[in-house]
Amino acid sequence: MTDGRRPLTNEALFARAVDVIPGGVNSPVRAFGAVGGTPYFVARAKGAHVWDVEGHRYIDMVQSYGAVIAGHAHPKIVEAVRQAAGDGTSYGAPTEREVLLAEEIRARVPSCEKVRMVSSGTEATMSALRLARGFTGRDRVVKFAGNYHGHSDALLADSGSAVAHIAAGAAGVPGSAGVPKSAVAETIVAPFNVVPVLDDRVACVIVEPVAANMGLVAPVEGFLAGLRRECDRVGALLVLDEVITGFRIGRGGAQERFGVRPDLTCFGKVVGGGLNVGAFGGRGEIMDRLAPAGPVYQAGTLSGNPLATAAGLAALSLLDDDAYVTLRDRAAWLARHLQDAINAGGLTVRCTVAGSLVGLYFGDREPQDYDDARRAEESTYAAFFHAMLDRGVALAPGPYEILFPGLAHDDPVMSQIVDAAADAAATVARAAGLAPAQPSPAGS
């Protein structure tokens, strides 16, 4: 690609981007602040691969941070969007596809008796919070350290993902400049994987059922069931943030997998097939408090957008039971072989897995909460990230993000990732003066 005179480079484009876009990116998680260097600018993508503007091809493990599950530019999704666009891109009036998508969500996630479409995961969690407060008549919200629920004021406190690099945050302490103390005065932050004791001031507990913004931290046995019990004890609502896990770790998301029925659920990413979508749903009597049925106001010009609902329906149509078996098998294979390859290269890593999600944790024990997760060796991740990029594999440029193997990551691609990881780990370990692990004696 050219600017008309000379070939574009990532370097040159980033310099122009920084001049006109804060930090050169439209979402902080895309910046290379945590790993150093210049972001690659994507020109196009297909299946498991992305190409940058310089023509380099990478195996893409970012997959739009989980929004893409069937691989980039899947023909069925592209065709659905193309057809929808030909009929108009937005109307300001309801459409059949909104009904179809809400029905499809309810069929997969029965706790969502009613569903409201929005345009992002942030909007979904923000709106679910308002609804929980409106329904219960209470103000207090409990979230967990290291969980990320988007960038609304009340939920930024002690968040994972890229927020980890800008602010400490804590209970009642803003997680970003510009968030007034009053906005988080009713936000309580608790450690992940420990059931907090609630009282009758709590409107809701919001949780990522599998934490995927502090690396990947699965819920310990009894955590989610314990949250359900504790919410019931005090009359608080349980809100599952399934923006990442929804339609990804199983047909019915984490709630199906772990057998917990929330009052409200938030979705994003997969349910939009790679377009701008969020959704939240839950018990009918709660959802009917939303305007225009009830007094809790929530609205959006582009909510339930024709292109986004077409893409979402097309994506979900690809996700049958076989697809979930494939996704789970791939993730389990990848976690096992990545861990072996990287450890053999001389770095200490734990690869965590839940459904089709894989975490990469440079440290010697599996994290159970945010304190553990933050003990990860960030500099090792940065070095490994660049060594992988040099070998044609794009991981997310931050140590608290995860890997998103999808339907396009077939066996040859998976083997290439593991081979690259073995080589990358050995290079990073050598540069750090670490010896490769000794092979186990035969027969042991």
Ligand X SMILES: Cc1ncc(COP(=O)(O)O)c(C=O)c1O
Choose the catalytic residue: 241, 263, 369, 372.
Answer: 241
Work out which of 58, 65, 362, 404 binds ligand X, going by CB under 6 A.
Answer: 65
- Residue showing the smallest CB distance to ligand X in the complex: 121
Q: Is 244 in the site for ligand X (CB under 6 A)?
A: yes
Angle at 119 between CA 118 and CA 122, to 5 degrees: 90
Residue from 122, 193, 298, 368 binding ligand X (CB under 6 A): 122
Answer for which of 50, 70, 243, 354 binds ligand X (CB under 6 A) is 243
When asked if residue 356 is in the footprint of ligand X (CB under 6 A), the reply is: no
Position among 150, 169, 250, 273 found at the interface with ligand X (CB under 6 A): 150
- The region of 18-26, 51-59, 241-249, 429-437 touching ligand X under the rule CB under 6 A is 241-249
Residue 364 CA to residue 288 CA, distance in Å, equals 48
Q: Which is nearer to ligand X, 121 or 175 (CB)?
A: 121
Residues whose CB is less than 8 angstroms from the CB of residue 198 and which lie 6 or more positions away in sequence, other chains included = 142, 205, 230, 231, 233, 234, 236
Does residue 247 bind ligand X (CB under 6 A)? no
Amino acid at 253: G
- Residue 125 makes contact with ligand X by CB under 6 A: yes
Strands 202-207 and 42-46: unpaired
> Per CB under 6 A, which region of 143-151, 164-172, 296-304, 306-314 contacts ligand X?
143-151
The Cα–Cα gap between 171 and 99 comes to 39
Q: Are 1 and 53 in contact (CB under 8 A)?
A: yes
Residue 207 vs 287, nearer CB to ligand X: 207
The nearest distance, CB 117 to ligand X, in angstroms, is 13
Shortest CA distance to 202 belongs to which of 233, 234, 229, 170? Answer: 234
Q: What is the C-alpha to C-alpha distance for residues 29 and 23, in angstroms, rounded to an integer?
A: 11
Decide if 359 contacts 402 (C-beta within 8 A): yes
Nearer to ligand X, 136 or 213 (CB): 213
The bridge status of strand 237-241 relative to strand 140-144 is: unpaired
The string of DSSP letters for 180-243 reads -HHHHTTEEEE-TTSPPPP-TTEEEEEE-SSB-SSS-BPPPTTHHHHHHHHHHHHTPEEEEE-T
Which residues lie closer than 8 Å to 122 by C-beta, 6 or more apart?
Answer: 149, 150, 151, 152, 278
Site membership for ligand X, residue 149 (CB under 6 A) = yes
Buried b (16+ CB within 10 A) or exposed e, 204-219: bbbbbbbbbbbbbbbb
Residues in 260-289 at the binding interface with ligand X, rule: CB under 6 A: 268, 278
Apex 18 CA angle, 17 and 22, nearest 5: 105
Residue 241 annotated among the catalytic residues of the structure: yes
Catalytically annotated residue among 148, 361, 381, 400: 148
Among residues 269, 324, 361, 372, which one is catalytic? 269
**Backbone angles phi and psi of 240, in degrees to 5:** -95, 125
The three-class DSSP label of residue 7 is strand
For residue 361, indicate whether it is catalytic.
no
Which 3 state secondary structure label does DSSP give 98? helix
257 residue type, one letter = R
Q: Is 148 part of the annotated catalytic residue set?
A: yes
Member of 121, 134, 209, 282 binding ligand X (CB under 6 A): 121
**Judged by CB under 6 A, how many residues of this single chain contact ligand X?**
15
Q: Which of 98, 104, 158, 241 binds ligand X (CB under 6 A)?
A: 241
Least distance to ligand X, CB of residue 268, Å: 4
Binding mask 361-390 for ligand X (x = CB under 6 A): ------------------------------
For the bound state, the minimum distance from the C-beta of residue 129 to ligand X, rounded and expressed in Å, comes to 12
213 touches ligand X by CB under 6 A? yes
Q: Which stretch binds ligand X (CB under 6 A): 7-15, 50-58, 76-84, 119-127?
A: 119-127
**Minimum CB–partner distance for residue 74 and ligand X (Å):** 20
Q: Kindly state the smallest distance separating residue 168's Cβ from ligand X, in Å.
A: 20
Give the residue, chosen from 10, 63, 111, 120, that forms a contact with ligand X under the rule CB under 6 A.
Answer: 120
- Our CB check for ligand X shows the closer of 119 and 427 to be 119
**How far apart, in Å, are the Cα atoms of 111 and each of 66, 242, 249, 252?**
23, 13, 17, 10
Does 22 sit behind a cis peptide bond, omega within 30 degrees of 0 on the bond before it? no
Give min distance, CB of 243 to ligand X, in A. 3
Binding site for ligand X (CB under 6 A): 65, 120-122, 125, 148-150, 208, 213, 241, 243-244, 268, 278
Catalytic site residues? Answer: 148, 241, 269
